[in-house]
A and B are shown apart, each in its own frame.
Chain A
Amino acid sequence: MSAQDSSSGVPHLPGMEVRPVERNVYEVQIGPAHPGSGHMRIIVELDGDVMVRVDPDIGFVHRTMEKLAEGRDWIKNIPLFERMAILDACNITLPYVEAVEKLLDIEPPERAKYLRTLLCEINRIASHLYGMGIFGVFLGHSTLYMWAFGDREVFVQLAEDLTGARLTHSYPVFGGVRRDMPDDFPENARKAVRYMRNRLNEYAKIFLNNPNIRKRLEGVGVISKTRAAELGIAGPNARASGIKYDVRLVEPYEAYPELDFEIPVFEEGDSLARAWMRVEEIRQSLNIIEQAVDWLEKHPREGFMHDKFWKAAPKLYKDVYEGNIPYAGKYRVKLMPLFATLKVPAGKAAARVEAGRGEMFYYVESDGKDVPYRVRVVSPSFRNVIAFKYVMPGHRLMDLPTIYGSFDYFPPEWDR
């Protein structure tokens, strides 16, 4: 494509879109703000303060996770991928681990499945609270921001007790998990669950039922069921528009088939429904945590790593798990040295899970070497960002942060 001049005579680079600009329409560029918070630019065309055209311009920081994965050993990709959405680390890495397990033809033992589910739900709550906190900031409701981030600390602490790290847990590994829960974990988890249930009612009072906030959310950024399906929106945003789709529902994984919980679905499809959606999801996640903790407490502490690996383990590994070595900690599952040089049989596998923001999909291809031949990631935020282009026009400029916040959009996640 040859270079063209815009109406103002400024030359455009090849590949850039050139369009005539209306006389009364002016262009505002919103963002990028900060690489960590949202390195996205939204180009908005305004007629007065009504948005007539919105162009989410993604792609400022390309970290090329998929390409980096092709040069690293299989296990080293777990800490790599969790950096896509660091606040939802277990959900982000779990489908990769599941896909590699399919290639290895192994399945984790039941206890490991429950432990993974437990951490996934802790991560989901932490992720939703993060989203709600940022939503509060967008609306100038700093109380919600403080509360959500303060309450998130409760679940980050739970995750730290379970895994030893606050955010980058690297918890699921091929064939199992890296650690069992500490002795006082069930009691702490139940306290956290009871606290959060009460707290959600207060969230409703101070934020969701607050008339000032409702005025800004109700009927803003409405996506109909058909439109949501058309655009391919994923996760809680799709369910807020009435689409009964959840990976835990259509293709249950890990311990989800054995747990009793609901998938909340709203029909309104506006910003308020998306905010309520998150609250209802937190409620269901709390139920799952309770059930998982009950199960883990009742069952003996065995089966946290697939027999294929655990049978090869020397006695010292069992000593570490039982806490016989004073400095080594307790209930720690040691990684077998073969993990460092793992060769995965040639083949193709795909796996998906329901992450905090929607469906997380991995396609993994192996050619039998110690590094993957190809890893393809489809993240929910990438699927959700298209909605901005279709939902925002027609609204006023101050509805932009409302819609942006209600989508719980996390730019680093699509940047893979």
Chain B
Amino acid sequence: MPARPSLKRVPRATFLGRAIAGNLGALIVGVKYFIDPNRITLLYPHEYIKLRQGYRGYIVLIFDKCISCASCARICPARAMKMVTMEVKDKKLNRAMKKKYPVINYNRCIFCGYCVDVCPTEALYHVPYHDLVYLNMQDMILNVEEFQKEPEFVTAKEGVPVTYVFDEKRGLVKVSVEESSNQGSSSQPAGGGGSS
């Protein structure tokens, strides 16, 4: 059934009714939330959000799966991913040869995930965290060795993992990860994947 226009009117009331009912209504709602506030603030870094699998976070390379097709570098809209030439030993041919592998510059990356989605061998994957700190901009340009390691997630060592679950009375409710897994509210496990 297609959309249909419907004429609405702004609710009107007499001045007296509006002044009394309007003020009272606003006050009652205010008092309700004064007594029973709904706070969703995250006390970062004492708490951190455990993101679900599928979140487009930092990217890791699985070296052995890479076939040097350069699709990831070709599709990168921010030109953050480049191919570098490396000398590797080919296991099948048993001789040294030059191949190209991707490296990433996190100064430019916009986390669109195109590189991961376009990789024909699934040699790239996302880790489900995004709050990393680098000490200088040079550190954000990774070489092939660094690109293969999952970045160090310091917050996970210091804070308590929490997650937000949907609630029809309170919108989002912040719960610890253990609680949420007991409730069975998150069907997909949060956490990164294992590398090769």
Q: A residues near B, CB below 8 A?
A: 72-73, 75-80, 143, 150-151, 153-154, 157, 160-161, 164-165, 168, 170, 178-179, 182-184, 187-188, 190-192, 194-196, 198-199, 202, 204-206, 209-211, 214, 244, 246, 248-249, 252, 256-268, 272-273, 276, 280, 314, 316, 320, 325-337, 339-341
Asked if residues A265 and B8 are in contact (CB atoms below 8 Å), the reply is yes
Asked if residues B5 and A244 are in contact (CB atoms below 8 Å), the reply is yes
Interface stretch among B51-59, B90-98, B134-142, B151-159?
A: B51-59
Shortest beta-carbon contacts, A-B, top 5:
A327-B193, A76-B77, A340-B75, A205-B25, A262-B6
Closest to A279 in B: B8
- Name the residue among A161, A209, A327 with the largest chain B CB count within 10 angstroms: A327
Q: A164-B56, A184-B188, A252-B2 are known contacts. Are A205 and B26 too (CB-CB below 8 A)?
A: yes
Bound CA–CA A264/B4 (angstroms) = 9
Bound CA–CA A325/B65 (angstroms) = 13
Instruction: Say whether B192 faces chain A, with CB atoms less than 8 Å apart.
Output: yes
Q: B residues near A, CB below 8 A?
A: 1-11, 18-19, 21-23, 25-26, 28-30, 38, 40, 52-56, 69, 71, 74-75, 77-78, 110-114, 117-122, 125-126, 164, 166-172, 185-188, 192-195
Bound CA–CA A264/B28 (angstroms) = 29
Q: Chain B residues near A198 (CB, 8 Å)?
A: 169
Bound CA–CA A190/B167 (angstroms) = 10
Asked if residues B187 and A206 are in contact (CB atoms below 8 Å), the reply is no
Bound CA–CA A261/B187 (angstroms) = 31
**8 additional contacts (CB under 8 A) given A154-B172, A264-B8:** A195-B168, A249-B5, A262-B3, A266-B8, A314-B120, A325-B122, A327-B194, A330-B54
Q: Chain B residues near A206 (CB, 8 Å)?
A: 25-26, 29-30
Asked if residues B71 and A340 are in contact (CB atoms below 8 Å), the reply is yes
Q: Chain B residues near A248 (CB, 8 Å)?
A: 3
Q: Which of B166, B192, B195 is A191 in contact with, Cβ under 8 Å?
A: B166
A–B Cβ pairs within 8 angstroms, 30 of them: A72-B77, A76-B75, A157-B164, A157-B172, A164-B54, A165-B56, A170-B112, A170-B114, A184-B186, A184-B188, A190-B168, A191-B167, A191-B168, A192-B166, A195-B167, A195-B169, A209-B11, A211-B19, A244-B5, A246-B3, A263-B3, A264-B8, A265-B7, A266-B7, A268-B9, A314-B120, A325-B122, A327-B125, A335-B117, A340-B71
Q: Which of B2, B28, B56, B121 is A256 in contact with, Cβ under 8 Å?
A: B2
